């Protein structure tokens, strides 16, 4: 499978455990951005078209990549729930769409610069946390840095 060559490791195969939901999701977003910018431009959309056209290839992709992503997100969400950061665990598939979808759209639909991904992922992190954990306090900002 070409995915095995372009992404030799399972995408999001290891759940980060950095002590907070914010830190874990920031690490996941960084991995998503890195993984989607690594292959040559246009490769990922073409591979996804092949995956959807071939049921056997689709099953293999779902097992190896989507299954690993959902397991990783489930672990992160379960830990955040256990720490009290979430009162209800969101659906991992929905969270996956919230994280991967905008990065994919940025790169492959809008053809925006990969160099702007850190700004996009920072905004995306804040928006995702506001959606899934509205009671979670916003990150502290350093007022002196804004002067």
Considering the chain, what is the average pLDDT of its residues?
A: 86
Residue 30 is assigned to a structural domain of this protein: yes
- The owner of tokens 């990783």 is 72
pLDDT for the residue 146: 44
Residue 146 is assigned to a structural domain of this protein: no
Residue 144 is assigned to a structural domain of this protein: no
Burial class (CB in 10 A: 0-12, 13-18, 19+), 84: exposed
- Is 50 exceeded by the pLDDT of residue 52? yes
Residue 130 is assigned to a structural domain of this protein: yes
pLDDT for the residue 26: 98
Residue 112 is assigned to a structural domain of this protein: yes
Residue 145 is assigned to a structural domain of this protein: no
- pLDDT tens string 90-143: 999 999 999 999 999 999 999 999 999 999 999 999 999 999 988 776 666 544
Domain limits at 75?
Answer: 12-134
How many domains does the chain divide into? Answer: 1
CATH number at residue 21: 1.10.357.10
């Amino acid at each position: 499978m070409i995915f095995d060559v372009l992404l030799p490791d399972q995408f999001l195969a290891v759940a980060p455990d950095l002590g907070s939901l914010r830190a874990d999701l920031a690490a996941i977003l960084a991995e998503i951005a890195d993984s989607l910018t690594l292959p040559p431009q246009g490769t990922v959309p073409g591979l996804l078209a092949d995956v959807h056209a071939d049921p056997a290839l689709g099953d293999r992709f779902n097992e190896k990549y989507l299954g690993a992503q959902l397991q990783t997100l489930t672990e992160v969400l379960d830990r955040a729930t256990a720490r009290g950061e979430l009162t209800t665990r969101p659906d991992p598939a929905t969270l996956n769409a919230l994280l991967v979808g905008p990065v994919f759209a940025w790169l492959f639909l809008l053809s925006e610069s990969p160099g702007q991904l850190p700004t996009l992922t920072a905004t995306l992190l804040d928006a995702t946390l506001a959606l899934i954990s509205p009671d979670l306090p916003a990150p502290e900002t350093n007022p002196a840095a804004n002067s």
